[in-house]
Each structure stands twice: as structure tokens, then as C-alpha cells.
Structure 1
Amino acid sequence: MLDSNRLRHLEQMPLWDFALAFYSEPEVERACLTLQDAGGVDVCELLLHGWLFVHGLEALPDALAEQRQSRQAWQRQVTQVLRHLRRRLKPEASNSEAIAALRKTIQQAELQAERENLQRWQAWALDLPEPQQRLRNRAETSHDVEKWLQDRFFFAELEAGCAAAPDTHESVSRAWLSLATRLDRFEVPR
């Protein structure tokens, strides 16, 4: 049975607010970008799992798999396109104020696309009246936050992809550990 207190606390802290607070924690931004660039991890989904975790909840795997496809399509078709454009324009932006302004506009659009994605994740998680079809109470006995987080992202598959590049494997492992440490200590603002 889904704990109504946990669900109520989740509803009181929007995913976007959690994302801003958690992302500003030391090392979190770097860890998220490492996992995104080296491991192909969707940072918005990563933030969803963190948000659920700090409220003592987790997504049910089957329900998550369906939503993950929709959210990944958004990331591919919208957010990644904007990110690619922003990164592509970086060298030119240092020599042109007009390109720098364009790049800033694209960066704002990319951030808005990520915010929209997070809002869609939140709507999915809290879709009433049946959130118990998507969420469950996280076992309080789970002390290994890093493994819990890695399990949400099929870490064994990601790790196999990084095995050929020891430096990448090392940086991805450090990123997971850094996120888990911050997540385990994260205090939900009251």
C-alpha cells in the first residue's frame, strides 16, 4: 500500500524545485553531465528517481518502462537537438556577439525543454487517482543508495559499454558515487 504521507510530501515539493535544489549541490552538476555524456543517462529521469527517493518512494519498473519511451522521445527530438545546437555554436560565440546572443537563447530554450520534461515526469508520477499503479514505497532498509540508483538505469549495461574505456568507466563510477552520496544526505526543504 502506497504511504499517503509520502505521497502528500511528494506533491508539496514539485520535481522542478527538487531538481533546482539538488542540481545546485556540490558535485551534482558535474556528476549528472558525466553520466549524460559518457553513459547516455537521461538527467531528467535521474532527477525523477532522486525526487522519489528522498520522499521514500520509487517507480514501478513496468509503468516506468512505458513512460521512459515517451520521455526519451522528447529528449531525442527536442532537448538533445537544442543541446547539440548550443554546443555547436560555442566556438563561434566567443567571436561574435550575435552568435553569443543566439546561443544564450538556445540555452534558455534547452532549459525550458528540460523543465517541460520534468513537469511531464511529475504529472506521470502523481497522476491521480491511481499513483499506486506507478509508484511504491521504497524499502527503508535500502542502505546502498548508489546501487539503488544504478539499478534504476540498468547500470550493468552502462558499465559494459564503458568497459572498453577505463577512464570513462572511472569517471562514470565516481559520478554514481557522488550522486548517491549527495542524494543520501539531501534534506528536503520544509
Structure 2
Amino acid sequence: MLDSNRLRRLEQMPLWDFALAFYSAPNVEDACLTLQDTLGIDVCELLFHGWLSVHGLEALPGPLDKQRKEREVWQREVTQALRHLRRRLKPEAQESASIATLRKMIQQAELQAERENLQRWQIWATENPDDDARLTNCALNSHDVAKWLQDRLHFTELDKDCLCASGARDSISNAWQALATRLDRFESPR
């Protein structure tokens, strides 16, 4: 049975607030970007699972799969499209002030798209969870957090297609571990 105290604490810390605090912790941004750029991990979903885990909760696989598909469409059609455009304009922005301004606006739109995605994850998690079992209690030992995150995101193996080089494996392993360490030590901002 879902612990109502955990759910109440979850509702008291919006996912966006958690994401800002967690992402700004040392090594987290680099770890998230490594996993995003190397494995195609959706950082918003990763943050969502981290938010749940610090409250002792996790999403149930069946309902999660349906929500994940909806969030993947948003990421692909909105956030990734903006990210691609922002990255594409980077060289031109170094030579043109007007392109740099445009790129900054696109970066702000990308951030807003990520915020919207996180808000949709939060609504899904907190909206009528008793009627539509979406969450369950989760008890994690600190040494299990990295594997738990990988399992939630369906990346249980480090030897995926492009990860033949040991440097890539090490970088990815270090990223998972950095996130796990920060989640284990996370304290909500006051």
C-alpha cells in the first residue's frame, strides 16, 4: 500500500524545484548530459525517477510505460527539436550578435519545454494515484541507487551498441555513479 506520508512530501516539493536543486549539485549536470548524449537518456525522465526515489517512491512499470510514450513524443517533437536547432546555431552565434540573441531565445524555449515536460510527469505521479495505481513504496539501499536508476530507464547493461570502447563504458558508469551518490545525499532545499 502506498505510504500517504511519502506522497504528501512528494506533493510538497514540486518536481521542477527538485530538478533545479539536483541538477545544480556538483557533477550532476555533466552526468546527465553524458547519459543524454551517449545513451539517449531522457534527462527529464531521469530527474522524475530521482524525485520519486528521494521520497521513497517509484513508478509502477505498466502505467509508467504508457506515460513514457507520451513524454517521448513531447521530447522528440518539441524539446529535441529546439535542442538540435540551438546546437546547430552555436557556430553562427559566435560570429553574429543577432544569431546569438536568437539562439538564447531558443535556449529559453528549450528550458520551458523541459519544464513543461517535468510538470506533466509531476501531474501524472500525483493525480489520483489511489484510483489508478501509478506509484509504490520503494526502499533503496545507497549501493543500489545506480542500478535502480538504470533499471527504471531500461539501461541495465553498459555494453550497448556504441559502447565498445572502455572509455565510453567508464564515462557512463561514472555518470550513473555520480547521480546515485547525489541522490543518496540529496536534501530538499528549504
User: What TM-score, normalized to structure 2?
Assistant: 0.95
Partner residue, 1:94: 94
Question: C-alpha distance in 2, partners of 1:85/1:170?
Answer: 30
Partner residue, 1:126: 126
Report if the CA contact (8 A) 1:162-1:169 is conserved: no
Report if the CA contact (8 A) 1:54-1:188 is conserved: no
Question: C-alpha distance in 2, partners of 1:30/1:71?
Answer: 23
Question: C-alpha distance in 2, partners of 1:141/1:32?
Answer: 22
CA offset at residue 65 of structure 1? 0.6
CA offset at residue 166 of structure 1? 2.5
Question: Counterpart amino acid of 1:2?
Answer: L
Identity of aligned residues (%): 71
Question: Counterpart amino acid of 2:6?
Answer: R
Partner residue, 1:72: 72
Residues 101-140 of structure 1: matches in 2 within 5 Å? 101-128=101-128, 130=130, 133-140=133-140
CA offset at residue 143 of structure 1? 4.0
Q: Cα distance 1:40–1:140, how it changes in 2: closer, same or farther (>3 A)? A: closer
CA offset at residue 147 of structure 1? 1.0
Is the partner of 1:160 in helix, strand or coil? coil
Question: Counterpart amino acid of 1:160?
Answer: K
User: What TM-score, normalized to structure 1?
Assistant: 0.95
CA offset at residue 188 of structure 1? 1.9
CA offset at residue 132 of structure 1? 6.0
Alpha carbon RMSD of aligned pairs, Å?
1.5
Report if the CA contact (8 A) 1:82-1:109 is conserved: yes
Is the partner of 1:161 in helix, strand or coil? coil
Q: Deviations over 1:125-169 (max 9, x none)?
A: 011253661000002556411111111112235642343233222
Question: C-alpha distance in 1, partners of 2:40/2:159?
Answer: 11
* Consecutive unaligned residues in structure 1, runs of 5 or more: none
* Consecutive unaligned residues in structure 2, runs of 5 or more: none
Question: C-alpha distance in 1, partners of 2:39/2:14?
Answer: 27
Structure (1 or 2) with the greater helix fraction: 1
Partner residue, 2:146: 146
